[in-house]
Chains A and B, each alone.
Chain A
Amino acid sequence: VLHTTRQLHTTQQSLAPLPPLPEKGGEVRHGLIPEEFFQFLYPKTGVTGPYMLGTGLVLYLLSKEIYVVNHETVAAACILSIIIYAVKRFGGDVAAFADKLNEEKIAKALAVKNEAMENLQTAIEEEKKEQWRVEGRSYLFDAKRNNVAMLLETNYRERLMMVYNEVKKRLDYQVAMQNLRRQKEQDHMIEWVEKNVVKSITPQQQKESIAKCILDLKALSKGAHAAV
């Protein structure tokens, strides 16, 4: 069972978002001594106090030879001067370069974050659209039902047509059979009658009929002559 109403974060603390890095580090004077030291001595000795303290310390160390001046001192002096010159001259450029690298990293991370947020936003909109689409479920099923009914109807009508055609074919066959029989009987009968008649005409009858025809014709021609 998933408790969808339970609070997930019960305390305020969370690892993200991280607090941003501080812009500048602690103040350091001359690159060596933190500012807190100067502020510590300011109420009692004013502005020059720490410098007097430093000078006094240096002189004490040198005079008592707690700090011994030897070849290493010369080497240290040369190295320090070169380092200070390099830092003063190229410090700005190096800082700008490092800042640019940082900017690129941050820009990339920001781009990733923005892209992720946009993707989630589009996903949310798509989801809402899908939810709206779900409401059209009933229409979809109505259309499907209509389709199926149409198919059934078409099928039924096709079969009806087929039945009609088949029945008609059979009936036509029967009719054609009857016609053919009648025709054949008729032809046969006519032929038989003709044959018998011709057979029955004897040569004697033929002569008599020819003479009679000639007489009729003569009579007719006499009648036509007279008419003309």
Chain B
Amino acid sequence: GPLSERPLMEVRLGELHTWISTCDFSPQGLLGAVQKAWNSYYAKYINVRRGGPAGISMLLAGYCLLSYSWNYQYFRRHRWRKYH
């Protein structure tokens, strides 16, 4: 299909630049993109008949990584060695 309507996973690396240029970066556009992403994740991993721990555990792992990256400058001061 046309470039702007394809989801991110089906965009080739070379077309990434043009795909980003067709993105809608207004607040409504960003909100819509977030909504679509959450809906697809929810439909695939959480809204099933027999789900497992995978649905929320991936969310929690992502949250851990995100919070580590936000506090990285404080972690950097607790390093064991000075030179790596």
Contact = CB atoms under 8 A, between A and B. Distances in A.
Interface string B54-81: 1101100100000010000001101111
Interface in A89-133: 91, 95, 99, 102
Given A64-B84, A65-B79, A25 B52 contact: yes
Given A31-B57, A32-B58, A102 B49 contact: yes
A24 B48 contact: yes
Interface of B: 44-55, 57-58, 61, 68, 75-76, 78-81, 84
A31 B84 contact: no
Interface residues of A, number: 22
A77 interface: no
Interface in A32-61: 32, 34
A154 to B, nearest CB: 77
A32 B57 contact: yes
A40 to B, nearest CB: 10
Contact of A28 (B58, B68, B80, B84): B58
A71 B79 CA distance: 12
A190 interface: no
Contacts, number: 59
**Residue among A65, A91, A95, A102 with max Cβ neighbours from chain B (10 Å):** A65
A21 B47 contact: yes
Contacts of B53: 31, 87, 91
Given A32-B58, A65-B80, A68-B79, A26 B50 contact: no
Nearest to A70: B78
Contacts of B68: 67
Give me the 4 closest cross-chain CB pairs, A-B, nearest first. Answer: A28-B54, A25-B48, A25-B45, A68-B75
A50 to B, nearest CB: 16
Given A25-B51, A28-B45, A68-B79, 8 more contacts: A22-B49, A28-B54, A28-B58, A65-B79, A67-B68, A68-B80, A70-B78, A91-B52
13 contacts: A21-B47, A21-B49, A24-B50, A25-B46, A26-B54, A31-B53, A32-B54, A32-B58, A34-B58, A64-B84, A67-B68, A70-B75, A95-B50
